[in-house]
Structure 1
Amino acid sequence: MAHLKINYFSNALLKDCQMDVLLPQTTNDTTWDKNLLNDLPVIYLLHGMSDDNTSWLRKTRLERLLKNTAVAVVMPNADLSWYANTNYGLDYYTDIAEELPKVVHEFFPQISSKREKNFIMGASMGGYGAYKIALSTNQFSHAAALSGAFYPDGQNKILESFRPKEYWNGIFERKNFDNSQNNLMHLAKQKLACTEDVPKLYDWCGKQDFLYQDNQKFISELSQIGIQVNANFTNGKHDWYYWDKFLEDILNWLPIDYLPEERLC
C-alpha cells in the first residue's frame, strides 16, 4: 500500500485540513486487475474523540491487513466535532460528508464514485459519524461502527463527563436534538421515508464497554422500524485492542475482495 498525507483546503471550514490516504500500489508481487484499479472501492475511516486522522494507522494493523486487497482508505481529521455542523460556526459535517468525497475524486480519479463501492466506518465518535453520514446521504452502501457512540445527547453520563457542558452545547442544539440531523433515529426514519436504499449496517461493541447498553438499545430501535443490523456483541472494552481485533471482521463483511495475509498458525 502507498501511504499519502494530504493537506487540502476546505471550503466548508475555510481552513486547511488533513487526511491520510492508503492506495494499492502495483508491484512485482501484485496481480490486481487493471480495471479494478481504475474503479477502486473506498473506505472512509473516521476517528473518535481522543484521536485524529493518523490514529487508525498508528494503533491498528490496518495497512498490513489490506496489503493484498485492492481498496483505497481515506482517513480525514474531524477534530472534536462529532461530524456536525457545530453551533460555533464550523461546518464539519459539510466538510466530511459532502465536500471531502468530491476532493477525493478530484485528487484520485481512480477511486470509484459509485455508491456500491463507497463504504464508511469508524470507532466511538467515528462510529456515530459513519452511521450519521451514511443515513443522511446517498453516498455509501455500507456503514460500520465499533463501539458506536450513538447517543451524544446527554443520555450517557460517562460520555457526557468527558467534556464540560459548554463543549457539548457548542456542538449540538440539545433542546431540538430529537428532530435534528444529529439524531441517528431521526435520520433512520427519514431514510426509510424516502426512495433511497438504506445502507447495510454493521455494529460491534464489547459487553464491558460503557457504550454497550447504548449499542443494544440503538440496534433494537432500528430493528423495531425495520432496519436490521449485523450486530456482534462480545467481551471487550472501549479500547483500540478490541477495535483492531474486530477490524478484520468488517473487512470480511464489506463487498470487497479482501485477501487476508498468510497465517501459518
Structure 2
Amino acid sequence: MAFAEFNFYSKSLQMDVQVSLILPEKVQGVGSAPAIRYGNFPVLYLLHGTSGDHTDWERWTSIERYAAKKGLAVVMPAAQLSAYTNMVHGERYFDYIAYELPEKISKLLPISCCREDTYLCGLSMGGYGALKIGLTLPENYAAIGTLSNGNHAYMAAGKVGSDMEKLFQSPLGEAMRNRFQFCWGWTPEHPVPVVGTDQDIFWLAQKNLDEKRKLPAIFAACGKEDHNYSMASDVRKYFEGLPGNPYRYQYQEEHGGHTWEFWDKWIQVFLDWLPMKGEESPHEY
C-alpha cells in the first residue's frame, strides 16, 4: 500500500486541510499479500473521534494492512471537534467532508465514484458523523460502519443513560458540552432543539424511509464497558425496531471499552462485512 498525507485548500472551510490516504499498489514488499484489482479502487472514508485527527487510524491500528487485503483505498480527514456538522460557531465541516472532499479525491486519484464502491465508517464522534453523512446522502454510500457511538443529538437533549451522565462530570464531558455549543448553539441554559432536526440520525433515517430513497446497509459494534454503551443500545433498538430491517442493520457487541484495542479488532470485522466486489486483477497504478 502507498501511504500519503494530502494537503489542499478547502473552499468550504476557507483554510488548508490535511488528509491521510492509503492507496493499493500493484506490487508489495515482503510480508504483504494485497488484493489485486483492475479499474478504480473502492474507497472507505474513515472518520476519527473526539480529540482525534486524520492520523489516528494509521497510528493506532493496522488499517493499512487490513485495507491491502481488500484492495481498498482509505481516506482519513481531520474534522476537529465539529461533530461532522456545519457548526453554528465554527467551520462548515459537513459540507467539506460530505461534498468537497469526495469530489476532490475522485478528481486527483483513481477512486471509484460508484455508490456500490463507496463506504463510510467512524468511531465515537466519527461513528455519529458517518451515520449523519451517510443518512443525509444515502444514494452516495453502499454501507456505513459505526463503532462505539450513539445519536449525539440525544446527548444534547439530555436523553442519555447513567454512564453518559457520569462522563459529563469529567474533563472529557466539558469538551462535549463545549462541542454542543460550538456545533449547534446548545447550552444547558439555552437548549436549542436538536432532536427532530437534520442533526438527529433517527430523524434522518425515517426521512429516507418516508421519501423511499435508496438505503445504505449499516454495521455497528460497541463494547459492553464503553461509556457510550447505553447510547449505542438506543441506536440498536431504533434500527432493529424498523419493520423489515430496511437498512440491513447488523449489531455486534462484546466485553470492551472505548479503546483502540476494540476498534482495531472491529474495523477488521467491518471490512469483512462490507458488500465489496471480489478481488480481480492487477490495477495499473
Q: Does TM-score exceed 0.5, indicating one fold?
A: yes
Shift of 1:211: 0.9
For 1:5 and 1:219, how far apart are their aligned partners in 2?
A: 35
Partner amino acid, structure 1, of 2:74: V
Counterpart mapping for 1:1-16 below 5 A = 1-16=1-16
Shift of 1:32: 2.1
1:184 matched residue in structure 2? 201
Deviations 1:159-194 (A, max 9, x none): 542426444211124422012211111111111112
Deviations 1:82-110 (A, max 9, x none): 001001141000000111110111111x2
TM-score by length of 1: 0.90
2:237 matched residue in structure 1? 220
For 1:50 and 1:164, how far apart are their aligned partners in 2?
A: 10
Shift of 1:30: 6.1
1:157 matched residue in structure 2? 165
For 1:139 and 1:33, how far apart are their aligned partners in 2?
A: 22
Secondary structure of 2:69's partner?
Answer: coil
Stretch moving more, 172-181 or 195-204: 172-181
For 1:196 and 1:123, how far apart are their aligned partners in 2?
A: 26
Gap runs ≥5 in structure 1: 260-265
Partner amino acid, structure 1, of 2:140: Q
For 1:80 and 1:258, how far apart are their aligned partners in 2?
A: 37
1:205 matched residue in structure 2? 222
**Would the aligned equivalents of 1:53 and 1:76 in 2 still touch at CA under 8 Å?**
yes
2:99 matched residue in structure 1? 98
For 1:4 and 1:146, how far apart are their aligned partners in 2?
A: 25
Counterpart mapping for 1:121-132 below 5 A = 121-132=121-132
Residue 253, structure 1, aligned to residue 273, structure 2: yes
Gap runs ≥5 in structure 2: 187-191, 280-285
RMSD: 1.9
**Would the aligned equivalents of 2:118 and 2:143 in 1 still touch at CA under 8 Å?**
yes
Counterpart mapping for 1:29-178 below 5 A = 32-34=36-38, 38-108=39-109, 110-137=110-137, 138-151=139-152, 152-153=155-156, 154=158, 155=160, 156-160=164-168, 161-163=173-175, 165-174=177-186, 175-178=192-195
Shift of 1:39: 2.2
Partner amino acid, structure 2, of 1:172: W
For 1:165 and 1:206, how far apart are their aligned partners in 2?
A: 23
For 1:85 and 1:6, how far apart are their aligned partners in 2?
A: 22
